[in-house]
């Protein structure tokens, strides 16, 4: 396989995507079997359980950045890349603070809409930080989050009592498909895509900068 082929998004994310899917299924089994809440929390949002795919973003983001830099597709101006990534990350917290200051409930649908729009804007900015890494992380994000969205659909329809189908506090009662749209499909395809690309980019840029230096010194 050529160096160019080895750093194409599809080739680069294949193994990470398989590992991520395995962790998703392990998490589901652990919750269904009632294993330790420390590792397999059933709380809405995941409860910070140690077994989960959000932690993998840090590892694979760094890995993608390192591989791209070693292949000569480095981030270019590191300062600019980091600046854009920080800006992309800051959008959601700033919007959340603004919504709270405006008296909007954090559990309201209007606040959720603000976060969704903010995630899309942040994603667009984040993709510009290091385009090669952004494209790779975007492909990985969809490979990671589409299975989660599908698991959530089945869990909600089956009322399994896992974090995949438990709604946040004060969430209004609604039909299963509407519930899945609001707590499953939309967050997974917007907010979690933003998180994967932006947080992954931060770690990827740092690793890529190191990889570029090592390549230059060889």
Those residues whose C-beta lies under 8 Å from the C-beta of residue 161, and which sit 6 or more positions away, are 42
Q: What is the pLDDT of residue 4?
A: 54
Query: Residue 1's CB: how many other CB atoms inside 10 A?
Result: 7
pLDDT at 153 over 50: yes
Q: Are 187 and 164 in contact (CB under 8 A)?
A: no
Query: What is this structure's pTM?
Result: 0.91
Give the model confidence (pLDDT) of 118-138 as tens digits.
999 999 999 999 999 999 999
Comparing 128 with 48, which gets the higher pLDDT?
A: 128
pLDDT over 70 for what percent of the chain? 93
Rounded Cα gap, residues 63 and 109, in angstroms: 36
Give the model confidence (pLDDT) of 51-73 as tens digits.
999 999 999 999 999 999 988 88
Q: For residue 47, what pLDDT band results from cuts at 50, 70 and 90?
A: confident
Give the model confidence (pLDDT) of 84-121 as tens digits.
999 999 999 999 888 888 877 766 778 889 999 999 99
Q: Are 188 and 145 in contact (CB under 8 A)?
A: yes
Q: Which domain holds residue 197?
A: 3-68+77-217
Q: What is the pLDDT of residue 104?
A: 78
Give the model confidence (pLDDT) of 168-192 as tens digits.
887 888 999 999 999 999 999 999 9
Q: What is the pLDDT of residue 2?
A: 42
Give the model confidence (pLDDT) of 2-46 as tens digits.
455 557 777 899 999 999 999 999 999 999 999 999 999 999 888
Count of H-run helices and E-run strands, the chain = 9, 0
Domain count, the chain: 1
pLDDT over 90 for what percent of the chain? 72
Comparing 201 with 216, which gets the higher pLDDT?
A: 201
Determine the average pLDDT of the residues in 128-153. 97
Q: For residue 195, what pLDDT band results from cuts at 50, 70 and 90?
A: very high
Measure Cα distances from 31 to 35, 109, 180 in Å: 6, 28, 19
């Amino acid at each position: 396989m050529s160096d160019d082929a080895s750093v194409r998004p599809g080739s680069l994310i294949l193994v990470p995507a398989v590992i991520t899917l395995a962790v998703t299924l392990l998490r589901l089994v652990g919750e269904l079997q009632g294993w330790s809440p420390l590792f397999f929390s059933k709380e809405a949002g995941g409860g910070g359980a140690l077994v989960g795919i959000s932690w993998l973003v840090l590892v694979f983001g760094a890995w993608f950045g390192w591989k791209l830099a070693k292949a000569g597709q480095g981030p270019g101006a590191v300062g600019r890349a980091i600046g854009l990534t920080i800006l992309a990350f800051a959008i959601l917290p700033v919007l959340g603070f603004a919504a709270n200051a405006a008296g909007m409930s954090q559990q309201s649908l209007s606040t959720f809409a603000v976060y969704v729009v903010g995630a899309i804007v942040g994603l667009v900015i984040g993709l510009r930080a290091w385009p090669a890494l952004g494209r790779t992380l975007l492909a990985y994000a969809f490979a990671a989050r589409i299975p989660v969205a599908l698991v959530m659909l089945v869990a909600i329809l089956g009322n399994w009592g896992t974090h995949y189908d438990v709604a946040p506090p004060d969430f209004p009662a609604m039909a299963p498909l509407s519930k899945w749209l609001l707590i499953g499909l939309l967050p997974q395809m917007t907010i979690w895509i933003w998180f994967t690309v932006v947080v992954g980019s931060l770690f990827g840029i740092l690793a890529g900068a190191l990889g570029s230096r090592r390549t230059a010194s060889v």
